[in-house]
Chains A and B, each alone.
Chain A
Amino acid sequence: MRQQRKVALPRFGEYNCALKYIVEQGFEARCILPPPLSRRSEDLGARNSPDLVCTPFKTTLGSMIEALESGADTIIMVPGGCRLNYFGELQEQILRDLGYTFDFINLSMYNTGKKTDILKALKVMNPRCSMVKAGKALYDAAQMVEHLDDITSLYYQNCGFDPTGTYPKIYRKFLSDMYAAHSLSDIQEGFRSANHAFADVKLHKPHNPIRIGLIGDYFTVMDPFSNLELEQKLADMGVEVHRLMNVSNDMLRSGEKNKQASIFRFSEYSMGASSTTDIWQAQYFAERGFDGLIQVKSAFCMPETDIMPVLANLSETYKIPVLYLTYDSQTSDVGLMTRLEAFYDMVDMRKKVER
C-alpha cells in the first residue's frame, strides 16, 4: 500500500488553515504546514525566480522550498486568472532543476473548461478518497474561510480602538482554533467564542473615525507578510481599516458580472483578473465617504497596473485620496512607514477641514 501523502500548499495569509482542513478531513492525507513566511522564504524564492516575474511567484516558490524541507512529498498549486495560471508549471520546473524530488499537482492542468476534469485532480491526491467526504470537507472549509474573513475584517476595523490590548489575543486564539479544527462544530465553536470575546471588549472609538479602504492584487493585499503588515500598521495609527478583498467576497460570493455593470462609467469591460472587483470596491468605498484608499500591489502585477488610470479617474470624480503602494521583495518597512504617516496626516487634515 502506498504511504499516506504528505501534502503542502505554499503559505497564503492565514488561509492555510482551510487548506489543511480540506487535505486532512477530505482526502485523508497529511498536511504539512510550511513555516510562516519570512525573510528567508522570500530570499529563497527571489534567488531562484526570473527577475521580472511578480513578487507572489517568488514568495510562493520560497514557501514551496521550505515545505519540501519540512518533509512534504506532494505540492499543490492553484490556477488563476492572470499569470497565476502559469505559476505551477514554471515553479515545478525550477524546483526540479534545483534537485528536489516530489509529486506536483498543478490544478491549472485540470482547469480546462470541462468541470469534470477538476475531479480527476482530486482522485490524484488520494485514489481511494470518498467524494462525499471530500464534498463535505470542501463545504466545511468554505464556512471556515467565511468565518476567518469575517473575524479578520472585524479585527482590523476595531483593534486600533481597543485600549486593553485584548483584541490581538482573541484573534490569535481564534486562528489557533481554526488550525486545530477537526469538524464543522469546532469551526463554529471557535467563531462563536471569538465573536463573543470581541463583543465583550469595550472600545474607545470616536464618533466619526478615519476610515481607509484597502484594495489590491489577490495575494499581496491578503497576505500580511507580503504587505509588511500594512493593516496592523494602519490600525495602530487609529484607523478603521476596511478590506473587502478576501477569498469569501471574491470567490464564494463573487457576482463579478454584475459588479462590472455597476462600474460602467469607469470600466466597460473586465480588465483582467482582480480588476473588476477592485474597481467596484474602490467605488463602494468612495460612495460611502471613506477618507482614503490604498492600492496594494506587487511589482509587475499586470491587472493592478492597468487599473491605475481608472483609480486616478475615480479619485478625481469622488474627491478621495488614493495611495498607490507597490511591493517588491523589500524587507525594510521604514520607507513604507514614512509614506503611511504622510498619507495619514493628509487624510486627517482633510477630515478636520470637513468637520
Chain B
Amino acid sequence: MSGIPVIGIPRAMLYYRYGLLWERFFETLGVSTILSSPGNREILDTGAARAPDEGCLAVKMFMGHVESLIGRCERIFIPRYSNYGTTALFCTRYEALYDGARNIFRTSGQRFITCNIDAQNGSPEPKAFERFGVELGFSPKESHRAWKEASRALEQQKKAEEQAQKEMIRNPGIKVLVAGHSYVLSDPYLGKPILDYLISSEAICLRTDALEEETSRRACAQFSPTCRWIVSEEVVGAVLLWKDRVDGIVLVSAFPCGPDSMTNELLIRRIRGVPVLTLNLDTQSGMAGVETRLESFLDIIRFQRGEMV
C-alpha cells in the first residue's frame, strides 16, 4: 500500500447530485476516498486555464477540482453518465468528462477510473456499478449490495429534502424558487452566494433540485415532450409544479450551458403570471452585479404584493 487514498472524488458537477451514492458505495466496500475541497476562486482559475475556453463554467470548475486531486490519490473517479434509456439522457458534457480529463491531464501520470452508465448500450446503473466494483477488486455480489445500499441512502436523502421544502413553503413571506442544476446552486463559489443573498433579504428560498425526480419529470413530459435531458426535465418540471405557489422564479445557469440555453427560453416563453429573473454565471468575480439584479427583482415582488407602497 502506498499510503494514499485509493479514490479521489472531484467535488463538482454530478457530485452534487449523486455524491452520497458514490461515497456510500465506496464506504460500504471499504475503499478509502478523498474529496477535493469546496469550490473557490483558485480552483476555478486553475480549471479555466486547463479546460477548453469555450467549455461551460461547470466544466472549468470540474477540471480545477481534478487538478487539485492529482498526486493525492491512486485514481481519480470520474463517472460517465450517459443515459438511463432513450428518453432519459444526460448532457453530452457529462459523457465527455472522463475522456476529456484523461486527455487534458495526459502528462501528469495520474490514473483515472470511470463507471460507465449507459443504458442504451447495455450498461444500466446497477450493472455499471457492479462492473465498477469488480474493477476495484470486489465480487459482483458485494458490489451490487453496496450499490443497493447506497442508492437507498440517496433516495432517503432526497425524500427528506423534499419534505423540508414542503414545510418551508407553508411559512409566510416572500417565496422565491431558484431553478438550476444542483452543481451550480450548491457550489459554494457559484450559486451559494445567490441563495445566501436571498435568505439575508428575508426571502424563503426554494430549490428545484429538492423535488422528487419522478414527479417533476412527469410534469415536464407533458409540457415539453422532446426534452430528454434528465436534469433539465427536473428543473422544468419543478418550475411548473411550484410556479403558482411562489412569488418569483430565478433561473440560474452557468455560461454557456447548452440545455439551459434552450429550456430557459422555452420556460420564459410559455410561463405567464410569475416574475422570472435569468442569471448567467460566468468566470468573472464579484457579486455586485448579481446583487443589484436580485435586489431589484425582490423589489418588484414586494411591489406586486403591495408591501412597498
Q: Which residue of B lies closest to A54 (CB)?
A: B258
Q: Could you give 23 example pairs across A and B, Cβ below 8 Å?
A: A50-B262, A52-B255, A52-B261, A52-B280, A53-B265, A81-B92, A86-B226, A86-B263, A89-B266, A90-B266, A93-B269, A112-B87, A269-B116, A269-B118, A272-B93, A300-B256, A306-B100, A309-B51, A309-B100, A310-B100, A312-B103, A313-B103, A326-B54
Question: In the complex, how many residues of chain A place their beta carbon closer than 8 angstroms to a beta carbon of chain B?
Answer: 46
The CA-CA distance from A81 to B265 in the complex, in Å, is 20
Do A309 and B280 touch across chains, with their CB atoms under 8 A apart?
A: no
Q: Give chain A nearest CB distance to B60 CB in angstroms.
A: 11
* A93–B261 touching, CB < 8 Å: no
| A54 cross-chain contacts in B, Cβ below 8 A | 258
Interface centre among B96, B106, B260, B264 (most CB of A within 10 A): B96
How many B residues have CB within 8 A of the partner chain? 45
Residue A30 CB within 8 A of the other chain: no
Q: Which residues of B contact A142 (CB under 8 A)?
A: none
Check if B225 sits within 8 Å of A270, measured CB to CB.
no
Binary per-residue interface labels of chain B (254-283) against chain A in the complex, 1 for a CB within 8 Å, 0 otherwise: 011111111111100110000000001000
Q: Which of A89, A271, A299, A306 contacts B224 (CB 8 A)?
A: A89
Residues of B close to A53: CB separation below 8 A: 261-262, 265
B87 & A113 in contact (Cβ 8 Å cutoff) = yes
Q: Report if B86 contacts A (CB, 8 A).
A: yes
Asked whether A305 and B116 contact (CB < 8 A) given A83-B258, A85-B226, A271-B96, the answer is no
> Which one of B55, B114, B118 lies within 8 Å of A305 (CB-CB)?
B55
Q: Which of A81-108 contact B (CB under 8 A)?
A: 81-83, 85-86, 88-90, 93-94, 97, 106, 108
Whole-angstrom distance from the CB of B122 to the nearest CB of chain A? 11
| Extra contacts besides A86-B227, A109-B226, A326-B54 (16): CB < 8 Å | A52-B261, A53-B261, A53-B265, A86-B228, A88-B226, A89-B225, A94-B269, A111-B86, A113-B87, A267-B103, A269-B98, A271-B99, A302-B91, A309-B51, A309-B104, A310-B99
What is the chain B residue whose CB lies nearest that of A50? B265
Instruction: Tell me whether B85 is interfacial, beta carbon within 8 Å.
Output: yes
B52 CB-CB contact with A under 8 Å: yes
User: Are A112 and B86 in touch, CB under 8 angstroms?
Assistant: yes
CB distance from A184 to the nearest CB of B (A): 34
Q: How many A-B residue pairs have CB under 8 A?
A: 122
Contact of A309 among B52, B224, B262 (CB under 8 A): B52
User: Complex formed: what's the CA distance from A308 to B106 in Å?
Assistant: 14
Is A303 positioned at the interface, with any CB of B under 8 Å from its CB? yes
CA A270 to CA B257, docked complex, whole Å: 20
CA distance A54 to B258 in the complex (A): 8
Most buried by B among A82, A270, A302: A302
User: Which of A50, A57, A89, A306 is the one whose CB lies under 8 Å from B92?
Assistant: A306
- The digit string for A279-320, where 1 denotes a CB below 8 A from any CB of B, is 000000000000000000001101101111110110000000
**For residue A304, which residue of chain B has the nearest CB?**
B54
Q: How far is the CB of A322 from chain B (nearest CB, A)?
A: 13
Nearest B residue (CB) for A51: B261
Task: Check if A333 is an interface residue, CB within 8 A of chain B.
Answer: no
